[in-house]
Copies of this chain bind each other. A is one copy, B any other.
Amino acid sequence: MSDYKPTDSELEILKLLWEKSPRTVREINNLLNQEKKVGYTTTLKIMQIMYQKGYLTRTKQGKVHYYTVSIEQQKTRQDLLDKLVKTAFDGSSFKLVMQALGSGTRSKNELDKIRQYLDQLEGENND
């Protein structure tokens, strides 16, 4: 299975399509423009490239293309994480987790959920 390394622009679009697919270029472009000014043909071009890369599928209805995201969010996130671990954390996802935990305030609720998850993991593996 290949590794997905979408660019920042692509990630913005993926995010919207993971929320809801399919969508047209027009819809995506309108949503993007709530954040910042982006030309329609810019969005079109990027989505065409994403289609070429296999990140999106599309179906034609009338003259409009409806785009659907075809890569999983989970897998994409994992690929991006793996890359960061490899390039910036000496290949140690433990180091990454510790650093991520250290930044910002975290609610008791979140901390508890992490603890629960750790317990669950401990049940599964054994080193």
Contact = CB atoms under 8 A, between A and B. Distances in A.
A113 B78 CA distance: 23
Interface stretch (A24-32, A55-63, A81-89): A81-89
B81 A84 contact: yes
A85 B82 CA distance: 13
Contacts of A110: 94
Contacts of A77: 88-89, 96, 99
Contacts of A12: 87
Contact of A105 (B74, B102, B109, B125): B125
A46 interface: no
A11 B104 contact: no
Interface string A90-122: 100110111111111111111101110110011
